[in-house]
Amino acid sequence: MERQNETQTRPGQMPLAVREQQEDEIDLVELFYLLWGHALQIIACIILGGAAAFAYTYFLVTPLYQATAKMYVASATYNSIVDIYDMQLGSQLALDYQQLLLSRPLMEDVVGALELDAEPEAVASLVSINNPTDTRILEITVTCPDPVLAADLANEIAYQASVHLPRIMESPAPNIYEDALVPEQKSSPSYTRNTLLGAMLAAAACCGFLVVRYLMDDSFVTPEDISRYFGVQPLAVIPEGSFGAGRSRHTQEKARNRAKPADTGAKA
């Protein structure tokens, strides 16, 4: 009997299951009008976020430059031993040469040749080795804040590789077919990308704040709110008059946002 009484509803009252389902639903139309009503604030956040990201990138992020030297690491030969080496080179090239080119002995020679006041490990952290697919080409790329130093390091590493690699791997000396040039343009950071990212993050933060504030507001401002949450129709509505003047600005905005979908439907 108790369970039966729980499932029964009063005349004109919405079933309990339907009421609970509606309480869990989020009215997307209301959220749209909420954000539309704060369009100016969102646009302001976009402008401020983009400006802040641009200023941070321009004043606080150090520009980096990249210089690349290229080598061909296997020469054609008719020696049978080297022919076997050439066949195996394709699968081992990227891993083997990447380790050898970044090895401590080679980096120590590079540091000594350029008379740098830096540790070999620090220099190695600036270097990346790339092996294009299905080729025997090595691209030695150096990234650092000094464009001249980037080119000097790439060329010196390529030269030292032509000395070290034949002795270590017992293979022909690699050919340096393209020297690194001093880069004229920085490789990073990208002002456009960072500005857009800052603007998007600021807009997302603003919209998130508005939505969370809206969802946390459990006050009743329209007769539809009472009907929605309690399943009963109000018998009377007190005119706003002086009572409405004391409502918070957010509550008044909430009432206006909820009234807009109804007005739109009435006009249609």
What are the pLDDT digits (tens) for 98-152? Answer: 788 899 999 999 999 999 999 999 999 999 998 887 777 889 999 999 999 999 9
Q: Based on the structure, what is the number of domains in the chain?
A: 2
Name which of 52-66, 127-141, 164-178, 189-203 the model is least confident about.
164-178
Q: CA-to-CA distance for 49 and 34, rounded, in angstroms?
A: 21
**pLDDT band (50, 70, 90) for residue 215:** confident
Whether 93 and 167 share a structural domain: yes
Span 226-247, average pLDDT: 62
Q: What is the mean pLDDT of the chain?
A: 78
Whether 122 and 212 share a structural domain: no
Cis previous bond, 189, omega within 30 = yes
In this structure, are residues 173 and 166 in contact, taking their beta carbons and an 8 Å threshold? yes
Whether 135 and 234 share a structural domain: no
Question: Would you say the pTM of this structure is higher than 0.75?
Answer: no
What single-letter amino acid sits at 212? V
What single-letter amino acid sits at 267? K
Long-range contacts from 142-149, C-beta under 8 angstroms, 24+ separation:
142/66, 142/67, 142/68, 142/180, 143/64, 143/65, 143/66, 143/187, 144/64, 144/65, 145/62, 145/63, 145/64, 145/65, 146/65, 147/65, 147/67, 147/182, 147/183, 147/184, 148/182
Q: CA-to-CA distance for 132 and 90, rounded, in angstroms?
A: 11
Whether 73 and 151 share a structural domain: yes
Assign 207 to helix, strand or coil: helix
Last residue of a domain, one of 178, 209, 237: 178
Domain assignment of residue 127, yes or no: yes
Whether 171 and 72 share a structural domain: yes
| Helix (H) or strand (E) run with residue 106 in it | helix 104-114
Q: CA-to-CA distance for 45 and 205, rounded, in angstroms?
A: 9
Domain assignment of residue 95, yes or no: yes
What is the model's pLDDT at position 44?
A: 96
Residue-wise pLDDT for 82-100, tens only, equals 455 555 555 466 667 778 8
Residue-wise pLDDT for 1-40, tens only, equals 444 444 444 544 445 444 445 444 567 888 888 899 999 9
Structural domain range at position 130: 65-178
* Residue 95: HSE in the Cβ half-sphere, 13 Å Cα cutoff: 5
Domain assignment of residue 6, yes or no: no
Q: CA-to-CA distance for 37 and 226, rounded, in angstroms?
A: 24
Q: CA-to-CA distance for 86 and 75, rounded, in angstroms?
A: 9
Q: In what order do the strands lie in the sheet with 137-144?
A: 127-130, 137-144, 65-72, 175-178
